[in-house]
Amino acid sequence: MSLHLEHLNPEQLAAVTLPEGHALILAGAGSGKTRVLTTRIAWLLREGSLSPAGVLAVTFTNKAAREMLTRLTAMLAVNPRGMWIGTFHGLCNRMLRAHHQEAGLPRSFQILDSQDQLAAVKRLLRSMNADEDRFPPRDLQYFIMGKKEEGLRAGGVPLTDETTRRNVELYAAYDEQCRREGVVDFAELLLRSYELLSRNEPLREHYRARFRHVLVDEFQDTNRLQYRWLKLLAGPGASLFAVGDDDQSIYAFRGANVGNMADFERDYRIAKVIRLEQNYRSHGNILDAANALIAHNAKRLGKNLWTASGAGEPLRVFEAQSDADEARWMVEEIRALKREGTRLDQIAVLYRSNAQSRVLEHSLFSASLPYRVYGGLRFFERAEVKHALAYLRLMASPADDNAFLRVVNFPTRGIGARSVEGLQDAAKAGGRNLYETALASPGKAAPFVALIEALREECAGLTLAEQVELVVARSGLLTHYKSEREGADRIENLNELVNAAAAFDSEERAAEAGEDMDPLTAFLTHAALEAGEHQAGEGQDALQLMTMHSAKGLEFDAVFVSGLEEGLFPHEQSLLDRDGPEEERRLMYVALTRARQRLYLSFAQTRMLHGQTRYNLPSRFLDEIPQGLLKWLTPRFAEKRKPVSNFTAGSFTRAPKRDPRFGGAPAGTGGAPGAYRIGQNVSHAKFGAGVIVDAEGQGTDARVQVNFGRQGVKWLAVAVAKLQAA
């Protein structure tokens, strides 16, 4: 096999050819970490250190796992399907399928995605007569998922107060409901797998002996339980090869613990950390800006990106009057890029908050520029697809109450809410699931149960694709959507589900689930694990709009980073958390390093968010980038800050609006040229730079409210404030 080791740089080669033992690879953005991971596996196989069945490689997306398999297939003369390469959830599912009895699960257990889990929580609350105002379903869902990701069952949660005690009771009842119905949520996959390995020593030793090399991608995104799971598998004599970048850890809100990297270095006594610092994506000025910015974070392992491709162009900075002005400027710049030959799909507009997209979308639509909001509704999350999957889930596992409730009356078959409630009461009283209850007691749900029984019988002997096609037709979904005025797209999605089943059955089933699982259960597992992953859309060349979190792992020729204002980015909520500003700075670092050639930074003096006008200070991040790397397309904020002496106390301008607090007339009319006005930039000897966001009173009683950014918002008496115009 040819591994093309000569194409690796010295650091990449050192990482690929490390002797057996634990290793930490600090891989910067665009440094070729996927290449290093796959070549490392291929090198181990070539050197005879292990067989394909001895490889365990963990990624964070199914897309990344498929890319690794594709590359390995091209590099190796062996079939890589014997390897365990996948996400944490996918690999834990595979382990639990193989050892379902030891794990206390039915053979055909079903997986709840986030929406299904929320529905299950709502059913639980209703069955226990819990007050949803006191215990909002989504809050309880987050509580349960959070505790599972900490490795805690209900019995292990400390009872700190009455609310926690009640949440713990509901958590225990939720676990019992899932056990009764034969379903697991995403967090349960990992926790159940961890518990299985913890208590079953022979099984644990079996996997330790098999997987002597454990490789982990995106290690900075692991949570505490995932790290504990890895430590269980990587026993004495194993080699744990962790690749990650602490500067790109941006998922603390999902439970990611950036401290795992430092813990790994300490726990395994890593003598030398290999740093991949040569960047193959961005020009030098972009990397210099990113390096300078992230250097302001104290808690980092440290590295410095560089490139051999030259400095490139400076970063362009634009200060807009308003968010609408910012959007109009972006449209003109994008048009100019397009005229120069840049494809629209190689241009991305990034924003911190989804709420920012409305103004951008309006300007793009008005300019007839095609765009796509990256991370929109995913294929397996579309309503019509979930309806079809619910029918299939009931065929595979009749105990699945979520699936039952989703389609028992869809398409409509005369089973109203009262009938369903009666069925639920009877099921609860008899200690049975809804399907068993409907099967045993004639009623309005009887024809529905008969349909599922008939579908199961008719599907016997059919291929997976034929089963899906039959269910889509016989369930009434096709007829229903044909009657809808805009049902054509939904019908296309149902047809695509049949295509997905055919492709899965022929190409992916054995690799993802093993040969032992029946095709339908394997496909349903695949659909649940794929839910939430972006499906690349077909169609015209289109500009990419996305949040900065969504941009992780992507790259573009030109990137616009919008909304660089204090309180928006860094987000005001982050300033309340001790580690929040550092995570926001890491998010900015990710945003900067998405750009290959051109990088645009913009902020607005005023912005409409959540129905209110915000008066803004430029983000601190603009001050943390060396000014020599920036090209200001408007006069720099700092350059406009000039002391003046002609302020008139109590004189305000708020044109063109009229404020009732100023007698209904425009405030400050007739004032001096340097009169205060709402939205004006000012500076204060103690609090520094700020912007006037409100005002009240007149004459010696006048006062202004000033947003001083990181110093907070303060009311100041004009007569004694000694503010200077900026």
Active site residues: 33-34, 217-218, 248, 594
Instruction: Provide the strand spans (E) within 204-309.
Output: 213-216, 239-244, 273-276
Residues with Cβ within 8 Å of 667's Cβ and at least 6 positions away in sequence, in order, are: 652, 653, 654, 659, 695
Q: Give how far Cα 249 sits from Cα of 28, 349, 573, 594, 598, Å.
A: 12, 21, 18, 15, 24
Q: How far apart are CA 687 and CA 691, in angstroms?
A: 11
- Nearest C-alpha neighbor of 344 from the set 558, 595, 534, 555: 558
- The greatest distance separating any two alpha carbons of the chain, rounded to the nearest whole angstrom, comes to 89
Task: Give the rounded distance of the alpha carbon of 601 from its chain centre.
Answer: 23
Distances (CA, A) of 717 to 258, 648, 682: 45, 13, 14
Q: Compute the distance between CA of residue 526 and CA of residue 516 in angstroms, rounded to an integer.
A: 15
User: How far apart, in Å, are the Cα atoms of 699 and each of 627, 669, 716, 717, 719?
Assistant: 41, 13, 14, 10, 8
From CA 109, how far away is CA 396, in angstroms rounded?
A: 9
Query: What is the phi/psi pair of residue 183, to 5°?
Result: -130, 160
Residue 339: count of CB within 10 angstroms of its CB: 8
What the block records as the tokens of 299 is: 């808690």
Distance of CA 688 to the CA centre of its chain: 36
Task: Find residue 582's DSSP bridge partners.
Answer: none
Token pair recorded at residue 179 = 């056990």
Radius of gyration of the chain (CA): 29
Half-sphere exposure of 445 (CA within 13 A, CB side): 24
What interhelical angle do 88-98 and 186-199 show, nearest 10?
60
Q: Note the helical H segments in 608-717.
A: 620-623
Pairing of strands 183-185, 110-112: parallel
Please give the backbone phi and psi of residue 211, each rounded to the nearest 5 degrees, phi first. -100, 80
Residue 636 makes CB contacts below 8 A (sequence gap 6+) with 317, 627
